[in-house]
Structure 1
């Protein structure tokens, strides 16, 4: 006897006949269980057939449609029509862009990207293409705006008289904001440098700029020997790190290259030849304004570039050719004829100077690059710093906060050179004078130095070595030498106090030492936090004590709060267990060890 599934494959009539035979056998007195076995169904199915036959006759044994009577989640017809209309009006818009635009115009629930794609496919608005496996690239992006600009030259700007012009382009790496779009009649080095300077006057000075190896951007490949071109000089004098891509590797500047493709498709291919150069520039400016402020960008999660871009305060970039400074009573000049050289009498001492600059990508601030540079750390790269310098001390302030004070390597002539570069007379110093010029210290003088702790928890303090703790490894701390004590300050709080490793006579010779009069910061409150990855047996080690967490949490990274009398273990803020502390061994490891998987 065939079962119901095999009978259903032969058609609706055969299926009804089989079910009717089963019902007749039950009505003739056959046990339901035996009928169910013969027809390959359950007893409940036979009872269902019997009840449907009694209620509706043979019509009740037919297979009914399981389609739902209503579809509350079905896309409304007016929204589907709007999707199709947008696609026909803008053939280059994809499903993601259309879904975004519908969400901005429609009043109801916005369709998803997949829903829009199905609508386009159902209405024949998608051209089927053979799937191609694209090459995989290593993607990267700067963390903040104004950290890196990508720049390039692109052609394809045709005028009515038959000339082809080129355009200098620049885009912010983080926000995709177009900072430069200048049409050039002749793409010379001077025109490129002028366009770059105009952009810096508008948006501020970036920390880095990335270009290809074109002769307008670098003289690295100049024959017979390398030379510095005008663009490189502008970067050097404004504290901008000029980076070059590897030859024949245009994907490194992929953001600006992809923007060129958008520019061609949406503007140049449809506009045709322009009447003249001003008309071309006006058209490009209008399109760039729309691109920056109104056009959503898929790489920015459909946000506009202007919403992610934050320009620096617009300083006056350093001029390529600075005018000669007029002579003053303090700086007399003696001229022997119209072509005689000017002799400057540099004063023996000079007032303190102040100027603003941008921290380079490597974390260096060039006070006067050939004389002194100050390392702040890569975490400050791209930020605008104010430098206060005299013959004794150099202070660096960022956002009103004193970041570093070091002994000055500048003399009066260097300070005068800074004034020629645009520095102004400084106000009162933001901190005390460096200890290197103080000579013999008065009793009770407090000295501070900034140091980076190595992986062993030891900072460098002259010839002395002192351990400040593994928890501060790879961190930058301030060591405050006060009498016979040394206070360790980290992140504005007092981390610990140790015996001073050097006496008062040796402190003035420390690198970057400065005298301070401010109050000592308060110590940090709360327990020490450490992290551990739970192994397969569920037991972790903290301060030479075994703590059982449980095999349930194997592979998880838990946080252990180390108190004086107990250990408290938490996972994602939830308490797991509490263990009494049996010893007072110090904690030497604070981070969880993440081992690479075995191959």
Structure 2
């Protein structure tokens, strides 16, 4: 890489090479004129003769061979121990009689240095995908939350006071197993695979008719933003396996798809969104009632879509991936 005081910048290299190749200067004369060594002038003249102007740029200093690099059979053993037994560099180094620093360098090179890069269930390197444009695929799921009693739940006021608040909250149900059984909030969530833009509604159940209503309103919501939904991916819950769900998708012109049974990683984007939803909204602060928490959801969704940096899309808010999506572009 050329520095500020370099005798031969790419432009100067081209001048000295043209003097030697095109105008017939001797290498010694050109080197003396530009105050550089004779081999340097000869090098740039040779590169100009072989590659033209493109040869005047700097080349990588990376060596062509790595004789001291860890042999491939050892690398395969390191990867096998990392994937199958999930061991760290120190333990792997002890088993293979290698320095931990060497093992760590191999794991970094093979993208196995973080366990987050490995599928938790199979131990294989995680396979990540992203659909090419907004609306190509949306993920749907339901996040089940316990309703907050009046006065606050146990997470913020403690279990003793939380139990008292729970018992005193009106609208509770009686149960044979427990003295008081509060109802639950079902957050029906929809997230676009490409942009990560999210849509959510809170209901008191997760029945098929409720899920269908959420899907219809979500599709309309995306259409208002210039996105035509093509496919929808869900788990194998009864609401999403119903004939009513299939008929609703057909009426909307959407292809329904389902995850592999007992394989939530297939729907991993929305599972990760649920964690963000819980940390950023559901359990982020003290709510004095369930109504207060539900009232705070639209503002948090606006912050998530419009302002919150998303690490999977280059620290940009999800809505930035919709800015160039004009209505009808993907129809």
TM-score by structure 1 length? 0.28
Whose helix proportion is higher, 1 or 2?
A: 2
TM-score by structure 2 length? 0.49
Greater relative CO (CA pairs within 8 A, separation 6+) = 2
Whose strand proportion is higher, 1 or 2?
A: 1
* Higher Rg: 1
